[in-house]
Amino acid sequence: MDVSKYSQAVIDTIKEAHKIAIKNENLEVTELHIMYCILKNSDNEVIRAITNMGIVVKSLTDDIKNAISKLKSPKGVTNLYVSRAYQKVLIVSQEIARSMYDSLVSQKHIFLAILKEDYTQGAQIAQRHNLNYEILEKEFDKINSENIARGITDETLKELSKYGRNLTKEAIDGKLDPIIGRDEETKGVIRILSRRIKNNPVLIGEAGVGKTAIVEGLVQRIVKQDVPDILKDKIVFALDMTSLIAGAKYRGDFEDRLKKLLEIIKDSNGKIIMFIDELHNIIGAGNTSGTMDTSNILKPMLARGEILVVGATTLDEYKKYIEKDGALERRFQKILVEEPTQEDTISILRGIKSKYERHHKVQITDLAIIDAVKLSQRYLSSRKLPDIAIDIIDEASSLVRMYTDERPLELEDLNRKILQLETEKVLLKREVDEVSKHRLAELEKTIEKEKNILLEKEDAYIKEKQRQEEISNLKTDLELISLQIEDAKEKHSFDKLGDLMKLKEETDNNLNKVKSITPYYPLRIQVTQKEVKEIVAKLAGMPEKNLETDELALISNLKENLKYEFIGSENMIDRIVDAYIRSRGDLVEKNRPIGAYLLAGSSGVGKSYIAKLLANYIYDGEKSLVALDMSEFTDKSSITKLIGAPPGYIGFETGGAFTETIRTRPYSVILFDNIDMAQLEVAAIISQIIKNGKISDSKGRNIDFKNTVIICTVNIDSDKNKYLDLLKTKLQFSFLSSFDEIFFIDKFDKKSIKKVAKLSLQKLSQELSTNQINLVWDEEVEDELITYFDYENMGAIAISNAIEQYILTPISMKNLQGKLKKFSTVRLVLDEENNIILQD
């Protein structure tokens, strides 16, 4: 078989035919397998022709499936052969393709070849459905004649297909998603296309709002004849600029291609509407030295009304490219496409749900759809509905399909267990004592039992996968029957309609019957809120625990955990956690960060430490902490570290390090340490972030800070009553007023110092436990550590330094000497001179 003579669709069909033969344990691949594969694929010209003839495809497919099930399947045969009829069909199909002047053998030629060999079983089954070679050939000729009558031949469509997609064909094949809503925009496109001059609409809107979907909806209305007479029987062709430019190596190649394409559209006398997505790309496309770009070639034809063009682009790109070219702009009529509401998006997702269920072979729950819309708008506000919600459902479905296709963990564990027992069995066979022989006999019984369990579970797993496959196939059948019903209604074929309605009812009953069967094995096939939340968390760069964990439990433990680890200022922790509770409640829209706090106090009291704790408990740990020392932002040029360099300066393309970090990790705790050292303009930017909850970087992108907690610190050696006066001398009043609250953290008293010592020892113990070393100490060791506390200068850092010097260093030395074994215990005690030592 010379594959170069066959289209890719035929090659895929032959491969699938072989798989079906293997699945049914058939000895040969026959023409029946090929027929079944062609008829099971709803996207081909054979199905369209048969449907036009009034033949019920489902009945024909079922008869062929039954014939395949009755083919001989002898046991013990391992090789797969091909029948003589199969071989002859491939040869005859090449002859038919040549007679039709086609360069490649398509599914149409293969099917005609099967019917031409009327002695085959496939041809005989088709004849029972009033289908034979002559009738089908006439139908293909009829379709071709209709195209010629409309001024569009097969050759024209093939030429067009080199440089784009035939959206009308895709709509007829049911490949386009249904369009829900957007009636006003669709009517606007129809109204402009129906004009005598300047009849070229351009859809303008943000990326993802559904501009292309509106064009696809228009195509579906044209196919259903639900448009004014002037637009009926039009073909919508989507131009692909990449295909047009690709391979144009020499000067003039691109212009030749484009002029030829435009001449085809012009000669159709308005029968072909050209859709150009990303319309701004026509400016400059194909332009080389001394040549014209696409827009300049199009403009004269647009002005004379020789071609119909529908464009789509974003607001920014329209202003940047199209508006600058006044001659091009006045040839298009603008239609603004707004983002749909949450309710409209939910309706859209419900309308296209079945297509995603069929593709991924899953079941999408309604709650998953609602969550996809609501969570995407809340946590992924930078992207537009419905595009982002559809992406979430698609990816969540893909996630579930991945889990379904993987072999269940339970079966893998059973397999490993059997393998382990088999290994033990081999070793026991070498022993000759009675105990080993008895153990061997018991082991053989256990292995047999486990193998039976594994076999039973694997059988149930395979049965359940087959059940899900059958459900998917029946849903596909229902979709195809529904398309045929719509076609019969439009053509007023009421006899055929009755048969189709009856067939739909039977298929629906079969589907319900298969669905009602108790699952053989607990496969994960439902897309639920859990999967949607998992995908949203990944896309938003937020900790998954914020969506998955019980929020009440998280919040109730938050205050307790923070107060245990942070010594002093319990009121400050209460206020910060209260702000977090308000943000999680999501009752009031707030265009500010979750909270912005200024912490004042002397060095070593834990001002920066609270930011680290918040990152650990409300987000994803240290990677969610963005810490900036304002001593590095003391001059005006340092502003580029925050928002990036202005256009024309070095580093403009990379953006600001700070804004880029928040753009990729919007759920963060931001620490501005030593805020009093920041240059005035840097402080003004921080103030703007706190007040507005967003800022524009050097590239003009809005960076959202609504999901951040902002902590600013300032060192003040004063008492609680005078710290505000000192703050006013260090910071401007306008900057101070932007904070939600200002807190003063007092110095530690003796009780607090002991708690710091105890916590520090506990943390060291936790770190050592990861190396299987147990650390214990007496209370007097904690009392001794207090003596190292420096009230005036280093604060709590002095205790950490003492632990490193007097405890961690001796333990490390003991480990280097090889005296510290795994799972050993290290006890800290005081010697006679109150020095901390390690006790063996």
Q: Bridge-partner residues for 178, per DSSP?
A: none
Residue 51 sits at φ, ψ, to 5 deg, of: -65, -45
Return the exposure string of 75-99: e unless at least 16 CB atoms fall within 10 Å of the residue's CB, then b: eeeeeeebbebbebbbebbbebbee
Which 3 state secondary structure label does DSSP give 73?
A: coil
* Below-70 pLDDT ranges, the chain: 1-3, 42-44, 73-78, 144-155, 174, 247-252, 284-293, 490-492, 494-495, 541-556, 585-589, 646-656, 719-720, 748-752, 754, 786, 788-796, 840
Contact between residue 398 and residue 422 where contact means Cβ atoms under 8 Å apart: no
pLDDT at 488: 74
* Ranges of each domain in the chain: 3-149, 154-338, 545-744, 750-839
Separation of alpha carbons 36 and 476, rounded Å: 14
pLDDT at 393: 92
Q: Residue 762: which region, alpha, beta or left (left: phi > 0; alpha: psi -120 to 50)?
A: alpha
Pull the structure tokens for residue 24.
């049914």
Pull the structure tokens for residue 828.
């800290």
Q: Which residues contact 498 (CB under 8 A, 6 or more apart)?
A: none
Decide yes or no: CATH 1.10.10.10 for domain 3-149.
no
Give the residue ranges of DSSP H helices in 593-741: 607-618, 639-643, 657-664, 680-692, 723-730, 733-736
Question: Full-prediction pTM beyond 0.75?
Answer: no
Q: How far is CA 561 from the centre of its chain?
A: 35
Separation of alpha carbons 97 and 106, rounded Å: 8
Contact between residue 13 and residue 32 where contact means Cβ atoms under 8 Å apart: no
Contact between residue 340 and residue 173 where contact means Cβ atoms under 8 Å apart: no
Return the exposure string of 730-748: e unless at least 16 CB atoms fall within 10 Å of the residue's CB, then b: ebeeebeebbbebbbbebb
Greatest CA span in the chain, whole angstroms?
A: 112
Q: Is the peptide bond before 522 cis (omega within 30 degrees of 0)?
A: no
Separation of alpha carbons 65 and 35, rounded Å: 10
pLDDT at 290: 46
Q: Which residues contact 443 (CB under 8 A, 6 or more apart)?
A: 421, 424, 425, 428
Return the exposure string of 198-208: e unless at least 16 CB atoms fall within 10 Å of the residue's CB, then b: ebbbbbbbeeb
Contact between residue 676 and residue 684 where contact means Cβ atoms under 8 Å apart: no
Q: 3-149 with 545-744: one CATH topology?
A: no
Contact between residue 42 and residue 491 where contact means Cβ atoms under 8 Å apart: no
Rg of the chain over all Cα atoms, to the nearest angstrom: 37
Separation of alpha carbons 687 and 684, rounded Å: 5
Q: Are strands 595-601 and 741-744 parallel, antiparallel or unpaired?
A: parallel
One-letter amino acid at 545 equals K
Residue 269 sits at φ, ψ, to 5 deg, of: 55, 45
Report in angstroms the alpha-carbon separations of 276 from 167, 326, 759: 12, 19, 65
Which CATH topology does 154-338 take?
Rossmann fold (3.40.50)
Separation of alpha carbons 659 and 694, rounded Å: 10
Q: Which CATH architecture has domain 545-744?
A: 3-Layer(aba) Sandwich (3.40)
Separation of alpha carbons 686 and 661, rounded Å: 15
Which CATH topology does 750-839 take?
Helicase, Ruva Protein; domain 3 (1.10.8)
pLDDT at 572: 84
Q: How far is CA 85 from the centre of its chain?
A: 46
Separation of alpha carbons 799 and 757, rounded Å: 7
CB atoms under 10 Å from CB of 179, counted, come to 22
pLDDT at 730: 77
CB atoms under 10 Å from CB of 30, counted, come to 26
